[in-house]
Amino acid sequence: MRVILTLVLLTLFNVDFAQEKFDVAVVEKFQKDLNSEYADAKTSPLLAEDLAHFQVLDFYPIDEKAFVVAQFIRTENEKPFEMPTSTTRKPMYVKYGEARFQMEGKEFKLNIYRNIELSKKEEYKDYLFLPFSDLTSGKESYIGGKYIDLKIPSGNTIVIDFNLSYNPYCAYSPKYSCPKVPLENDLGIEIKAGVKKFHD
C-alpha cells in the first residue's frame, strides 16, 4: 500500500504548483495521469471486479472558477497531532498554514496540513496536504470528502485548483486507511470540480 501511495503522490506532485493562472492543460494532464494510474493493476486502488470494467473516472467539467489564488497564512508553533483515519491508524500531521479565499462572493478558510513522516523524505519535503468536504459530499461526490496536493509556497499566496481534487483510496476499497477531513475544512458551498463519486 505504501508503494501505491508513493506512486500516487509522485503522479500528482508533478503538477505545476508554481502556476498563478488557470491552465486547462494542467487539469487535462492530471485527469489523464489519474485515469492511467487507476487502469493499471499495479497502481490501481480499485477492487478487482471494478478494475475489470474500468474505463475512466467521472470528473466534473473543468471549470476555471474552481481555480483560486488564496491568501496563505503560515501558522507558527503548531503542535503535531494524530490525524484520525478510516482505520485505527493515526499518522502524525501538523497544521502548516491557512488558505483564505473567495468563491461566489463568500469568504472561506481552509487549513493546510503537513505529514510529519512524509516531510522527512527529500522528494516530499515541500509537500502539503489539503483535505476538504463541501455540499456535494455524499451526493455527487464522495461522502468522505476529497484531497488536493500542494507545495509549500514561496510567498504569501497559494494556488488551490479544485479541478485537481481527487478521492481518497477509501472511496474505492475498504482495505485502505485514509485521513478523515477535519470538521473545520467542511465548506458550506458546492464545489463542482475534480473527481465525482465512484459508485452511485
Residues β-bridged to residue 110: 99
CA 12/CA 8 separation, integer angstroms: 6
Give the per-residue pLDDT at 19.
61
CA 96/CA 27 separation, integer angstroms: 25
CA 26/CA 36 separation, integer angstroms: 15
CB atoms within 10 A of CB 171: 20
CB 163 within 8 A of CB 156: no
Give the per-residue pLDDT at 168.
98
Q: What are phi and psi of 84, to 5 degrees?
A: -60, 145
Q: Report the chain's terminal Cα–Cα distance, integer Å.
A: 26
Residues β-bridged to residue 96: none
Strands (E), the chain: 67-74, 81-82, 92-103, 106-115, 127-132, 146-151, 157-161
* One-letter amino acid for residue 50 of the chain: D
Enumerate residue ranges in the chain where pLDDT < 70.
Answer: 1-19, 200
Give the per-residue pLDDT at 18.
52
Give the per-residue pLDDT at 199.
75
Q: pTM for the whole thing?
A: 0.90
* One-letter amino acid for residue 141 of the chain: S
